[in-house]
Structure 1
């Protein structure tokens, strides 16, 4: 596609790397001209700013989330990004591939955690803890002093423990919930249901009056006074997200990237997101 023109409130970004997720097939405008680039997160360099833009300059290295853009998404050499999008400056020591892997997963888990009324010493179960969101969730939860259990395939258990998980279970094991209840006999204080279809099962290991946050969008009736909620996306977590970038850059938080694909293999990367076996984040490189 041609380089998009920008309005007075937009940035023209030369895309250097693109984060890939199952969400990339969701965020499409109702009407569009083809070929239309999908994609909502990326990292790159600002090549031009609109006349009314004051917070960013040409040459700035940024990571961003840009949804429902009529001029096209991030799977392109250039992207037009509105100045009020979620934009995070990239630390000097961080490369574009790393930066592109953070925005959606980091933003999602930080929003989810704003709805968890937990204190240091409380416990949380993460359903689908080996992917991009789950690996961040483990580490952020441990940094807050929470006890963490997570489900994933057995091949991912060791590295989940290396990130701080206290207990791991195989989601295919019919008795996995019994393992969690043995670990926390009264039930965990909260659960984060990341993978689709995990909300109801996650609720069964939560204590009476606890909380379940469903990232997948599962809808199910609560039981035993448990509070069931979706991710509160209106919360402002920009500062926390910038701190996460800095923590990754400093080596305090581990960024798990499963694979970096050449840009022309983007459909293969997107297909990989359809499975439950992805480990960490998938990224497309334009460099």
Structure 2
């Protein structure tokens, strides 16, 4: 099969080459990959006991080709989207992937394409887990730092669906886009006065902030009210002030049922899925470089069709 593999421990030593189709064990699925979601972590979410060459990538959508003897939930022909990471047999940037049955696997709704399905699992799962750490009610307010990417696109819409007032930061070219998703207030993160603009909007400060982009946690905390919450998706660590609670994404939170609902809502048009560009599989490195700029709008996807 063809796969984008990491050939050594050198940071950028990634290439498209022929490699063996992974053999599956009794508790795994062999999935024929049809589309791959591109993420900034794809080239470095790697197992400690990595053996080169190693196929990169953590999310995809495809068709079950074969099911191990201990797998009863899925069978050949099933269409699934999934997250598979840190697995010794390799990742998702390949024509075939071995997927453990206990991985995050979501059946693809009938009307949904593989391209659409591949764009949802990581961003959707991350947002839904993050929101479990925010004790907000209808009418409360939230600021989203870096709100025009794949995670922010879902965060704005889900927050609005819960009745929250939403502000988001991004470059000016993305302000109309964020408002189209439901954002009530948009600011330019490069404008020195952006925090004042948020305080003009919410004079007492917002109830919570979601710091998506690296380095945005501390600045986000400054516009949160006393005793509010900042959740950092990037993993930034900073010292809290004014009794503000600093939280990280609770990775053990089980939001699978909510994620299935998100797939269903997208499939019928109740939630908007934004894919900035679909690249042919052979252009995977170009897509990886684009997402590493952190300036993509919505999601980037590789198509193997």
Q: Provide the rounded CA distance (Å) in 2 between the counterparts of 1:213 and 1:150.
A: 14
CA distance in 2, matches of 1:258, 1:107: 19
Residue in structure 2 matching 1:233, options 251, 254, 261? 251
Partner of 1:209: 227
Partner residue of 1:38?
56
Q: In structure 2, how many angstroms separate the alpha carbons of the residues matched to 1:8 and 1:169?
A: 51
User: How big is each residue's C-alpha offset from its partner over 1:105-156, in whole Å with a ceiling of 9 and x where there is no partner?
Assistant: 0000000000000000000000000000000000000000000000000000
For residue 13 of structure 1, what is the aligned residue in structure 2?
A: 31
Structure 1 alignment gaps of length 5 or more: none
Q: Tell me if structure 1 keeps the 8 A contact 2:205–2:225.
A: yes
Are 2:24 and 2:98, in contact at CA under 8 Å, matched by a contact in 1?
A: yes
Partner of residue 136, structure 1: 154
Give the SS at the match of 1:157: helix
The answer to whether structure 1 residue 48 and structure 2 residue 66 are counterparts is yes
- 1:24 aligns to what SS in structure 2? coil
Aligned to 1:168: 186
- How large is the Cα RMSD of the aligned pairs? 0.7
Give the 3-state SS of the residue equivalent to 2:61 in structure 1: strand
SS at match of 1:34: coil
Deviation at 1:56, TM superposition (A): 0.7
Deviation at 1:31, TM superposition (A): 3.2
Q: Post-superposition shift, 1:36?
A: 1.3
User: 1:125: which partner in 2?
Assistant: 143
Cα deviation, residue 273, structure 1: 1.4
Tell me what 2:89 maps to.
71
Mind listing any 5+ residue stretches in structure 2 that lack a counterpart? 1-18
Task: Determine if the alignment matches structure 1 residue 273 to structure 2 residue 297.
Answer: no
Residues in 1 aligned to 2:43 and 2:188: alpha-carbon distance in whole angstroms: 28
Structure 1 stretch 274-283 or stretch 202-211: which is displaced more? Answer: 274-283
Deviation >4 Å, runs of 4+: none
Asked if structure 1 preserves the Cα contact closer than 8 Å seen for 2:51 and 2:88, the reply is no
Matches of residues 150-229 of structure 1 in structure 2 within 5 Å?
A: 150-229=168-247
> Once structures 1 and 2 are overlaid, which stretch shifts more, 136-145 or 261-270?
261-270
Residue of structure 1 in register with 2:128 after alignment? 110
CA shift digits 1:162-220 (9 cap, x unpaired): 10000000010011000000000000000000000000000001000000000000000
Alignment match, 1:87? 105
TM-score after normalising by structure 2: 0.93
* Count of residues in correspondence between the two structures: 287
